[in-house]
Structure 1
Amino acid sequence: MAYYLNKMKRTNKTAYESAIHLLNYRPQSEYELRTKLARKGYDPDEIGKVMDKLKHYGYLNDSELADDLFDSFRNRKCYGDTYIHQKLKSRGLHTNKHLTAEEEIDIAVSLLEEKVRIKPELLINYRKAAAFLLRRGLSQSAVMTALREVRTFEYED
């Protein structure tokens, strides 16, 4: 703990400089920046002024970041709506965008088909297959539909 406190006091950067450094590393939400700056020991009033300045210059825009991250997760086609929104929430972000039921079913089917190629025993153990898809944040209806479709595809061969 003493090492951490000593490390905090060695910083010669202003809160604004630290925030810019963090933003150069990767896009951050206001919540993330506030938390990191507070951990570095900056005054809450100073942090508030820095947030206002960053928003004024367009370096900090939570709604745009949330939409960009949602689109990035959507394009990966590996996660369901629940997972995506949990990830956004953990970064202090929110978006009104959602995956459609058809998108979730397509994602579930493609994930399951890929997983079955690696582990064919998932065709027999539906509980494990369902758990795999549910951990990816897919809806129960998408999971059940995917399980039926993949089972049908396997028996048609």
Structure 2
Amino acid sequence: MDLEGLRASIAAVEARPAGSEDLPPLAPEAHEAATASLRLLRYRPRSEQELRDRLAEKEHPPEAIDEAIGRLRAWGLIDDAEFAAEWVRGRRRRRGRSRGALERELRGKGVGEAHIADAVADIDASDEREQATELVRTRLARRYPGAVDREAAVGERRRLVAFLARRGYPTGLAMAVVDSELAAHGPS
């Protein structure tokens, strides 16, 4: 669920009567934890573990956290599988992250291995190479509108390999892509 969809769902939840027929009212402490969770979700979607951690930091009792998380699930506001899939789509599109980097980020957010595997299942080696190539091409086009001379290529190679490494690409792939693109952008 994207941020706008999530915000619309939160508004619909907040407009519901407190004790609707399908769900009993929350205990007072659980209501506070659920309200705090809704505030957090207005900024961005979060994994279940992220919400649990944030609520625990704010010293909500464990029973209240469990009840609030259960209610958020019932309302359809948290779903780790959907969160992981959206995280992967967004981070690949906006940041150019590699499969390995995405897996590490999702683990850090407490997403389960099965959800992580499903979210990155469509990313294969050719997708990784294509993404890395596009990142390097964009960077080279911005820095060097014309050809890259041999002297500049030496320093640029190091910078571009490091650039891809920060996005989680393996060194071998990064070096191969950078060398190929520098050769293509070199003097004729």
Which position in structure 1 is the counterpart of 2:64? 46
Which position in structure 1 is the counterpart of 2:175? 144
CA distance in 1, matches of 2:51, 2:33: 10
Q: Which amino acid counterpart does residue 24 of structure 1 have in structure 2?
A: R
Structure 1 residue 66: Cα displacement: 0.5
Q: Which of 92, 104, 115 matches 2:128?
A: 104
Range with greater deviation from structure 2 (65-74 or 142-151): 142-151
Which position in structure 2 is the counterpart of 1:26? 44
Asked if residue 153 in structure 1 is aligned to residue 184 in structure 2, the reply is yes
Q: Which amino acid counterpart does residue 72 of structure 2 have in structure 1?
A: L
- Relative to the length of structure 2, the TM-score reads 0.68
CA distance in 2, matches of 1:111, 1:135: 12
Secondary structure in 1 matching 2:97: coil
Structure 1 residue 114: Cα displacement: 2.6
Q: Which of 53, 60, 66 matches 2:84?
A: 66
Secondary structure in 2 matching 1:47: helix
Query: Given that residues 77 and 107 in structure 1 are in contact (C-alpha distance below 8 angstroms), is that contact kept between their aligned partners in structure 2?
Result: no
List gaps (5 residues or longer) in structure 1.
1-12
Which position in structure 2 is the counterpart of 1:133? 164
Secondary structure in 1 matching 2:169: coil
Q: Which amino acid counterpart does residue 15 of structure 1 have in structure 2?
A: A
CA distance in 2, matches of 1:23, 1:109: 35
- Relative to the length of structure 1, the TM-score reads 0.79
List gaps (5 residues or longer) in structure 2.
1-30
Which position in structure 2 is the counterpart of 1:88? 106
Which position in structure 1 is the counterpart of 2:153? 123
CA distance in 2, matches of 1:85, 1:122: 34
CA distance in 1, matches of 2:97, 2:34: 35
Q: Which of 10, 17, 33 matches 2:35?
A: 17
Structure 1 residue 49: Cα displacement: 1.2
Identity percentage over the alignment? 26
| Change in 2 beyond 3 A, CA 1:50/1:67 | same
| Change in 2 beyond 3 A, CA 1:50/1:108 | same
Structure 1 residue 141: Cα displacement: 3.5
Query: Given that residues 19 and 33 in structure 1 are in contact (C-alpha distance below 8 angstroms), is that contact kept between their aligned partners in structure 2?
Result: yes
Coordinate RMSD, CA, aligned: 2.2
CA distance in 1, matches of 2:103, 2:64: 30
